[in-house]
Chains A and B, each alone.
Chain A
Amino acid sequence: MEKLYTITALSENEVGLLNQISIIFTRRKLNIESLSVSASAINGVHKFVITTVCDEAMAIKVVNQIEKRIDVIRAFYYAEEDIVYQEVALYKVSTPALLEAGDLERLVRKYNARILEMHPVYTIIEKTGHTEETQSLFQDLDKYGVLQFVKSGRVSITKSTIEHVDKYLESQEQRRIELEEK
C-alpha cells in the first residue's frame, strides 16, 4: 500500500552526497515530497530526511540503495507512527489587510503561531507543526492575501528505544581496533 514514508540517511560529510541520494529517487520515479539536510547528534555526521510516497517494498529498496553509497553510514525508513516530526512555515501578509480584518490575535492563538516581525507594510508569521496545520493556517491567512509562503522540509526523530546508528558505529569502531591490532 502506498503511503508517506520518511527516509533518513546518516552520512559522512562528503561533497556530492545529496546528488548521489537524489538520483536513487529519480531512477525509481519517486517524487521527493520534502527534504532536509542538517547536522546530527554525532560529530561530523550529516542527516538527510526525505519524505516520499511509495509502498513498503519500495521504501526498503530505496533504503538499501542509499546505504550502498560508500559515504552513507546507515539509512532507515519510517511510517508516520514511528516518528515525531515537525515542519516550520513562514508567512508574509500585508499588515494593513491583517489589521483591517481584526483577526490576527485569534489566528495566532488558534494556531499557536508566532509573529516574528511586524512592519507597517508586512507582517511575518511563523508556525511549526504538521503539514495539515501549516496548510490550514495558510488558508486562513490567504483570505487577506499571503504575499509569500515558505515551508521547511520535515525534521524528525524516531520513537525507537534503540539508537541503531550508535550500535553500528560501535561495531565498526570495534572492527577498526581489531584491524589496527593485526
Chain B
Amino acid sequence: MAKEKLTGSEILIKSLLAEGVDTVFGYPGGAITPVFDCMYDYQDELKHILVRHEQGATHAAQGYARVSGKTGVVIVTSGPGATNTITGIADAMMDSTPMVVIAGQMPSSMLGTDAFQETDVVGITLPITKWSYQIRRAEDVAWAVARAFYIASTGRPGPVMLDFAKNAQTEVAEFEYKKCNYIRSYNPYPNINEESVRKAAEMINAAKKPLLLVGQGVTLGGAEQEIIELMEKADIPAATTLLGLSSIPSSHPLNMGMLGMHGNVAPNVMTNECDLLIAVGMRFDDRVTAVLDSYAKQAKKIHFDIDPSEFNKNVAVDLSVLGNSKESIAAVTALVEKRENKEWLQMFDRPKAEEKSKVIDVEVAPESGPLKMGEVVSRVSKYTNDNAVVVTDVGQNQMMGVRYSKYSQPRSVITSGGLGTMGFGLPAAVGAKFGAPARTVCLFVGDGGLQMTLQELGTIKAYGVNVKIILLTNTVLGMVRQWQELFFEKRFSETNLSNPDFVALAAAYGIKGRRIEKREELDEAIEEMLQHDGSYLLEAVVAKEEMVFPMTPTGKSVNYVMLNRDEIYKL
C-alpha cells in the first residue's frame, strides 16, 4: 500500500518532533504561513514561542540550547524575517551553539526574480553557518531536517540555515523519517590518536608548572567530570575562558578563575610563567591571549579540540589532540601520574591576594559611595546560593556579571562571547528559562543593551516567563566610555544615555520592578526579587565613572594587568 502523502509543512513539523523538539521560537509571515498553519494542529506537541523580533528568536534559541544542551530551533518568514536572524546566527557560529533556523522563502519558480520578500538567504548565511541549504521540494524536507540536526549538534556544534521554499511547504510527499548519523564528507567523531594521548600524558608528567585552560569545548563534550579528575590527579591549576566559566565549580581549590582582558590576575599572569599549557576546547581568542608575540613563549603547549582547523590557527602548539574532550581527557588522565604541585600552586597566591584586596574587595564590599556593579552581582549570587543560570548582555555589565557570580553547576553561564552582541541578554534569558524551567535565571544587563531587544518584555508578559532582570543603570554605554576615558583622553563621544523610566516600562508589561540607589536597600530588594513569583526588574543605579578592572589593554601582553586607573600589577 502506498504511504500517505503529507505536505512539506507537515513533514517539517513531524521531522522536528522526530528530533525530539518540543519548543521552537519564531515569528510568522507570508512565506512561512503554511508551516504556521500546520503548527496550529500540533500545538500540544510542539510549543511555539512567539517572540517580538526575529533576532530575539535566535538569541532565545541560543539561551535554550546553551542551558539544555539541546538544539535550539527558530522558524521565521523570508526576507526581513530571515535577515533579522543574522546577528543571532553569527553569534551562534562564533560561540559554537547548536541551532537550526528555518526561514520561509518564495516558491522556487519565483526565485531570482526579486520577488516580494525574496532574499538570497543561503548566500548571506553561508559564511556564518555550518551548513546552509535551500529546500525546493517536499521530498527533500525530512532529509534536510535530519541532516540539519545532525550537523548542528555533532562535532563542534553550530548554526544551520534551512531556506524553505513555499512550494515545498505546500506540495506533498511521502513521509518517512530517518535520523541522520552519517555524512560521507563529514566525520564529527574522529578516532582519538593513541600516540598523541601518550605524548600528552608524557608532557604532563614531565611538567613542573602545568596550567590547564578550560574552554566551552569541555561543556560541549560533557567532559566536566573528566577535567576535574585530570586536575585533581595531576594537581593542575585550571583557568577558564568566558564561555568555559561554569564547567568547573568556582569553589574548586584548583580553579584559578577566568582568563582574558578582564579575567583574573593570577591565571593571566601565570600564563607567562607556566612550563606547560594544556588547552582544552578553547580557541586562543585574542581577548584571551592578548598580544601573541609574547603569549606563553616559555611554555610547551598541548591543544585538545574537536575542530582540527583550530590547531595552530592563532597559537602554534607542540602537540594537538583531535577528538571529543570527554574521551581524550579521560584517556590522558588514565596515563598521568598522581602528583602534587605545591610550590607551583603557591605562586598563584600573591596575584590572587593582590586582586582580592585591590580589585575585588573594593568592588564587592565598598563602605561608602554609590552602589557598585560587582557588589550587586555578588549579592545576587549569594542569595541564589551560586546556583542560578547567569545570563548577561554585553558591556561592563557582562564582565561584572560573570566575574562576580559564582558557579556551582555546569551550563550556568550564558553570554555572547565571540561576537559580543549587545541585546543578546534579554531574549537569551527568556530562552534559558524555557530550556531550564526549574532553575532560577538571572540576567545582568546594561541600560544600553536592554534597549536593544527591549521588546522581548512582551514575550515575557505573554508567556509569564520568570526571569530576574538585574538592570545595572549607569546612564552611559559604560564599556565604551571606559575606553574613551582610558585611551581617548576622556572625549566622551556619544556614550551618554537619556533613559526612560525602566520600572514604569516594566510595569507596562505587567512586570514587577524596583529601582534602588542605596546600599541599605540592596539585600532586601534582591530577596524581594527572588521571592517574587514571576519576572522582576531590579534596577540598580551605579556610577557612570565605574570601570571594569583588572584590565589588559589591547596591544599589551597577557601578564600586563591594570589593577585600577593608576596601578599595574608588579610581576
Contacts and interface: CB of A to CB of B under 8 A. Distances in A.
Q: Do A and B come from one complex?
A: yes
A20 B126 contact: yes
Contact of A70 (B127, B151, B308, B309): B151
Nearest to B316: A57
Interface centre among B126, B185, B186, B307 (most CB of A within 10 A): B185
A61 B126 contact: no
B309 A61 contact: yes
Assign chain A's interface to a size class: 20 to 34
Contacts of A16: 122-123, 126, 132
B126 A71 contact: no
Contact of A12 (B123, B126, B181, B184): B184
Contacts of B295: none
Given A16-B122, A23-B127, A70-B130, A64 B183 contact: no
Contacts of B307: 68
Given A57-B312, A60-B312, A68-B307, A73 B184 contact: yes
Given A16-B126, A70-B130, A70-B151, A175 B185 contact: no
A77 B127 CA distance: 22
Given A16-B126, A61-B309, A65-B309, A169 B184 contact: yes
Interface string B129-163: 01110100000000000000001000000000000
* Interface residues of chain A: helix, strand, loop or mixed (majority): helix
Given A20-B126, A23-B126, A176 B308 contact: no
B312 A70 contact: no
B182 interface: yes
B131 A67 contact: no
A179 B182 contact: yes
B496 interface: no
A70 B182 CA distance: 12
A68 B310 CA distance: 10
Nearest to B313: A61
A71 B184 CA distance: 8
A12 B182 CA distance: 14
A135 interface: no
Interface in A1-42: 11-12, 15-16, 19-20, 23, 27
A172 interface: yes
Contact of A68 (B122, B184, B309): B309
B499 interface: no
Contact of A172 (B123, B132, B184, B308): B184
Contacts of B122: 16
B126 A70 contact: no
B187 interface: yes
B459 to A, nearest CB: 33
A141 interface: no
A16 B123 CA distance: 8
B186 A70 contact: yes
A72 interface: yes
Which one of A72, A169, A175 has the highest number of Cβ atoms from chain B below 10 Å of its Cβ? A175
Nearest to B134: A15
Nearest to B131: A70
Contacts of A11: 185
Nearest to A73: B185
Interface string A89-122: 0000000000000000000000000000000000
A16 B323 CA distance: 29
Contacts of A65: 309
Interface in B439-465: none
B283 to A, nearest CB: 13
Kindly name the residue among B122, B123, B309 whose own CB sees the greatest number of chain A CB atoms within 10 A: B309
Contacts of B311: 64
Interface in B289-343: 307-309, 311-313
B309 A67 contact: yes
B458 to A, nearest CB: 37
Nearest to B307: A68
Interface string A37-72: 000000000000000000001001100110110111
Contacts of A72: 185
20 contacts: A12-B184, A12-B185, A16-B132, A19-B123, A23-B126, A27-B127, A61-B313, A64-B308, A64-B309, A68-B308, A70-B130, A70-B131, A70-B183, A71-B185, A73-B184, A73-B185, A175-B187, A176-B182, A179-B181, A179-B182
Ranked 4 nearest A-B pairs via Cβ: A64-B309, A73-B185, A70-B131, A68-B309
